[in-house]
Amino acid sequence: MSDSSSDDDIALSKRNKASLNGNGKKRKKINSSDDDDDVPLSKRIATPPASSPLKKRKTEPKSKSTSKNGTSKKDVKEEPITPKKATVKKSTTSPTKKSTTASKKAVKKDDDKDKDKGKVKISKVKKEEKEDTPSQSQQPEEQEDEETYKWWEAEDLDGEVKWDSLEHNGVLFPPEYEPLPSHVKLWYSGKPIDLPPTAEEVAGFYAAMLETDHAKNEVFQKNFFEDFLQVIKETKDDQLRSTIVSFDQCDFSKMYAHFEQLREEKKGLSKDEKKRIKEEKEKLEEPYKTCYLNGRAELVGNFRVEPPGLFRGRGAHPKTGKLKRRVFPENVTLNLSKDAKVPPPPPGHEWGEIRHDNTVTWLAMWKENIADNLKYVRFAASSSIKGQSDFKKFETARNLKNYVDAIRKDYTKNLKSELMQERQLASATYLIDKFALRAGGEKGDDEADTVGCCSLRFEHITLKPPNIVVFDFLGKDSIRFYQEVEVDKQVFKNLRIFKKSPKGPGDDLFDRINPSILNKQLQNYMKGLTAKVFRTYNASKTMQDQLDLIPNEGTVAEKLVKFNAANRTVAILCNHQRTVSKSHGNTVQKINDKLKEFLWQKIRLKKMILLLEPNLKKKDKKYFEEIEDLIKEDEEYIHDLVITRQREQVLKKMVRDNEKLKSENEPLLTEKSDSIKEKLDKIKELEDDYKKELKTGKPVMRKTVTVEKLKQQIETIETRILNTTLQLKDKEDNSEVSLGTSKMNYIDPRLTVMFSKKYDVPIEKLFTKTLREKFTWAIESADKDWRF
DNA sequence: ACTTCGACTTAGTACATTATAA
DNA sequence: TTATAATGTACTAAGTCGAAGT
């Protein structure tokens, strides 16, 4: 069992195979999507091709042990940080002194009062009445009720130092592994196997995912199994080691079934019990949720250490399925004030490192073992520190409008530059500006092969004279970017040059530039300008323009629809997608059936009118024209639909009633029971009527009606048809577009606030609670006339 | 000059909760 | 009231970008 060393080979042999031509570092990968040659526009191909699309959702038991593990957590929380009383920071602390040394990190952290940042004025000092109850009980509620710190009314900070004091209670570790009950085992070669807990845990990770697409992915299986073998090796159980050698012999289904059962049980819990469990969980988390930044309470974002599991890489990630190992306190570095109390590590453990670096904003950090990346515990999105940088981001983007004309003019000119590098820079900037591409840094062979602007390769664009470019590549998260667009003539020419031989598939389109060069160039125009600013700028600009088109009229619901439509144009610009839910096809089918049925009803009613007054047909030809639209097959189909549905309803109700009767020990109903039979007979009668109708083409009328009434009914149905049609269209339009990402990251929230105020649409309809908290600064600072 | 590292933002998906239809 | 669909949140992977390292 070679361990890690072999990762690379496995990792998608297919993909790397191709890479030879071009210079060494270039990767090649021509068919990112073997199987989807003609996927409809912008359909993602990230997901593994095979796999049955209609699989019902399987949830994998997240981490085993539903139980309240008994680990040490509690001990830890015994002393949450003391509420640090109000630290009234004098508003005017040393006004700006420019941070002297440019970059020394960690140099000036801690408490020397003369930080550079200075000038944060506290507009409202929070008082903490709780001070006398030092321990656990500082409830967030109380604190929330107090005035929150309005940093946006304070002066800005600018500089290296991010805080003056920082206190927190560390991080929450996942519960220890609890071995499965003895009757649940991994089976191998048809026999149950005893696994030591560490190995069983890993097997369980896979078992829990058995019905997911991941588990069916070969790379995933390979990576998982390799690491599984490695863990077995680490157990030093030589016999076991020699037993388990082949993935194909492993049968995880028993374990899977067990997890399913646990899930069911959990679902079946009574309300009270669920509530109790939840409360317990909250209590456990309590101490970690809040920290103190410069003496003020702030929420922590991800205070939970990521639990071990199998790495779920997106797209064709070479490392997908590898074991993400458990993180121990020894792996964790905490960051807090020098004079802050260091939270006690879980009993029997030590913290890896304690740091006091006030030039960064993370509270804790550890290194993950898949790609050796750092993972951070940070402040929540609603925190002042995040809010400030968010604000800054939008102000930078907003500032771009003062420069964008010049920049565009320049790059248009430079499209013809004699210098290849300049020409490439100009062309790349054009693409970023026009199509909202990302910068596109280099990626390694041990990552999914995705690209952005600077890393576009030969095969990612196709040129169609005179000036059409077809983009087709996988971007961030392996989301497909497919667009057929018209471009500037000169850009088209340039792209053709950039593709000229000897370049071929696998070669970089922009071989003279990279994001670093590009950004450096952009900085010349404006401080803080980088490639990603264009995405923010263009997104917000687009939103502003779209909102400007909306008339201030109609109901709230109508205005909301328009707002969402504007939001959608932005999402489409940024290529924000989501997978269509596997039930989507079904849903659409259902709606279509509904529509058909409405139509049928309508026509049927019209026929009735004619039965009552045949001469109307000549009088109002148009009105009755559509009767011909209904073809026999459809009619039959709908009859069947209606009849089947009614029967099912009756039977379903019977089943439900029976459950009640059963518990009361009453005799059960059957299809023979009088009440049921009566209903069924009626349906049968209806069915016969329909059959007759089908033959004669004349609806059977059992009740007396008037033409007036029928016309009225028709009208009702018509509005229903209209509504349903709209609903369907909306659903289709939206099914693969994700509005959330742009709302959260790209559209200046002040635009949304402006819309809310100007159009009188409650902000609750536009921002969810979390977004309202994140964007409090915008809600309080923008008015109805605000402009991006 | 280029690569790697560190810290931060952006992103889709899995799961939980709430709203709506039946 | 219950089943299902829509919406919202938690989670963590995957980007960007500046600075350190070589």
In this structure, what CATH number is given to the domain that contains residue A23?
3.90.15.10
A660/A521 same-domain check: no
A474/A516 same-domain check: yes
Domains in chain A, number: 3
Q: Is residue A554 part of a domain?
A: no
Average pLDDT over residues A754-782: 96
A34/A62 same-domain check: no
A190/A326 same-domain check: yes
Nucleotide with minimal C1' distance from the CA of A522 is: C17
Residue A689 vs residue A425, higher pLDDT: A425
| Domain final residue, candidates A731, A753, A777 | A731
A30/A94 same-domain check: no
* Phi (first) and psi of residue A274, to 5 degrees: -60, -40
**Residue A411 among the catalytic residues:** no
Looking at chain A, the number of H-run helices and the number of E-run strands are: 27, 15
In tens, the pLDDT along A292-347 reads: 999 999 999 999 999 999 999 999 999 999 999 999 999 999 999 999 999 999 99
Distance CA(A439)–CA(A519), nearest Å, equals 9
* Phi (first) and psi of residue A57, to 5 degrees: -65, 140
Distance A610 CA to B11 C1' (A): 58
Above pLDDT 90, what percent of chain A? 56
**Burial annotation A12-47 (CB, 10 A radius, 16+ → b, else e):** beebbeebeebeeebbbbeebbeeeeeeeeeebbbe
Distance A447 CA to C13 C1' (A): 11
| Domain final residue, candidates A731, A750, A782 | A731
Residue listed under structure tokens 């067990």: A258
Q: Is residue A326 part of a domain?
A: yes
A315/A236 same-domain check: yes
Residue nearest to nucleotide C17 (CA to C1'): A516
Distance CA(A695)–CA(A257), nearest Å, equals 52
* Phi (first) and psi of residue A707, to 5 degrees: -60, -40
A602/A698 same-domain check: yes
A41/A61 same-domain check: no
CATH code for position A132: 2.170.11.10
Residue nearest to nucleotide C7 (CA to C1'): A768
Q: Is residue A779 part of a domain?
A: no
**For residue A618, which amino acid is it?**
K
Q: Given CA atoms A562, A565, A570, A571 in this order, what sign does their dihedral have?
A: positive
Distance A727 CA to B20 C1' (A): 14
> Among A206, A482, A746, A759, which one carries the catalytic annotation?
A746
Q: Is residue A270 part of a domain?
A: yes
A180/A326 same-domain check: yes
Distance CA(A333)–CA(A355), nearest Å, equals 7
Strand order across the A191-193 sheet = A191-193, A186-188, A250-251
The nucleotides of chain B lying under 7 Å from a protein CB are 3, 5-17, 22
Q: Is residue A538 part of a domain?
A: no
In tens, the pLDDT along A20-35 reads: 233 333 343 333 333 3
A591/A715 same-domain check: yes
Q: Is residue A541 part of a domain?
A: no
A416/A284 same-domain check: no
Please give the pLDDT value at position A684. 85
Q: Is residue A559 part of a domain?
A: no
From residues 200-229 of A, which are strand C contacts by CB within 7 A?
Answer: none
A116/A210 same-domain check: yes
The nucleotides of chain C lying under 7 Å from a protein CB are 5-20
DSSP assignment letter at A152? G
Region of A107 please: left (phi>0), alpha (psi -120 to 50) or beta: alpha
Please give the pLDDT value at position A406. 97
Which domain, by its residues, includes A430? 1-45+404-525
From residues 756-785 of A, which are strand C contacts by CB within 7 A?
Answer: 768-771
Q: Is residue A390 part of a domain?
A: no
Strand order across the A468-474 sheet = A461-464, A468-474, A480-486
Q: Residue A290's beta-bridge partner residues?
A: A299
Above pLDDT 70, what percent of chain A? 80
Contact of A169 with A76, CB cutoff 8 Å: yes
In tens, the pLDDT along A274-296 reads: 888 888 888 999 999 999 999 99
| Domain final residue, candidates A321, A346, A380 | A380
Please give the pLDDT value at position A13. 29
